Amino acid sequence: MNKQFLLRMTYKYREFLYMLHRHPTKGILPSGIPCHVEDPESDITHGDVVHPCVRYIEEGFEGHKWWMVYTPFYAGIEKIENPKLCYADAEEEPPTEWKYYCTIKDCPETGYNSDPTLLFKDGRLYVFWRECNTPKTKKLGCDAATFGCYVQNKIVYYLSQPLLTNFFSNNQGFLDREICPTIIAKNGSFWGYTLHHCQSSIPKFIEQIPPKLGSFVYRHHLLNLLDVLFGYKEYINLGIAIWKGNNLEQPFEYKKTTKIQHVSRLYQPWHMDLLEANTKDGERIFAVMQSSLSFADICLAWCQEGETFTLYREPLITSKTIGMAGLYKPSAVIVGNKFYLYYTARDNQDYHLNRLFVTSEDLESLLERMK
């Protein structure tokens, strides 16, 4: 049996589980258009794109309105997962050709970078990213932290302190409340939104596997099998953690974690990106979410009063919709009355390669269809 056949059988079984739970298997949006992202290190990264964060700057920055930061992650190689900044130009349609601007952070001596995000504020383009078990986090005495910088003329100016910090373990077990940060400026303050996870109980028969046999890869495959067959999730989502800061030069304060409303039993939201929009119902914050760590859908949630997020039942994109597996963290932009969704999926010919796509829909039409 080849890998493609096994994947097809996996998703057929997933469809069966969705039917049992009366959960939609098709997304609202059409399949996306493939994008090309320029990368001077493509011989190393293979042009891989994962965890995109796209922003549209109406007044432009350095002559360009579309900006994106992402990390390559070809074949799951952490040492190449370093944030790269790109720009694009398009007036009528969302851009599919992205030009390399600069690399924000090189590979650390230990640990890895991940989860980049953008914020344009007061004429400056800020980039934030997460570091896990790097020399900088160890010096701070924490396991992970969100660091930042701003860019100008392809020069990176690093901020002196991290905005968010996280300790993986405490007396309650493994917790991570700093996953995939988004930073928003609102009402004279800065707000950070991250996903908050804990590790679920590992089945005893996996814990009892002898160390020589229980390698990470072997254990990972067993947990994936449990996910396929029974919907077991290695990580449980506790909600969205909310942080507040007065400026971008000092650490934010963790305020609380709010549970995401109306989440399907098949989901444990893993990554997300936030965006603000004016709708006929007023100003709203939306979140585009990756529904689970593995076998994910891309979904939409709306936020009430900056705190409570409610997930729409209908997914935006599913593997059945696009005919590709490996959906991962999305990003969305609203320009005028158009909703643009950027997402990544695994290439059908090269399972190790994540490719970038964009799809779109009229915003109000989309919201009507989601009700």
Residues 6+ apart with CB under 8 A from 241: 177, 178, 192, 193, 194, 195, 196, 254, 256, 257
CA distances from 188 to 25, 185, 244, 275 (A): 42, 7, 11, 17
Q: What is the pLDDT of residues 161-183, one digit of tens each?
A: 999 999 876 655 678 999 999 99
Domains of the chain and CATH, by start: 3-370 (2.115.10.20)
Rounded CA separation 68/308 (Å): 27
- With both helix axes pointing from N to C terminus, report the angle between 3-20 and 216-230 in degrees, rounded to the nearest 10: 40
Structure tokens at 357: 């796509």
Q: How confident is the model at residue 258 (pLDDT cuts 50, 70, 90)?
A: very high
Q: What is the pLDDT of residues 242-251, one digit of tens each?
A: 999 999 999 9
Residue among 161, 107, 110, 167 nearest 133 (CA): 110
Does the pLDDT at position 234 exceed 80? no
Entry pTM: 0.92
Rounded CA separation 328/272 (Å): 9
Residue among 74, 75, 45, 94 nearest 338 (CA): 94
Q: How confident is the model at residue 221 (pLDDT cuts 50, 70, 90)?
A: low
Structure tokens at 212: 């020589």
pLDDT at residue 312, as a whole number = 96
Q: What is the pLDDT of residues 70-88, one digit of tens each?
A: 999 999 999 999 999 999 9
Q: Tell me the H-state helices in 34-187.
A: 42-45, 135-140
Structure tokens at 172: 């309650």
Does the pLDDT at position 211 exceed 60? no
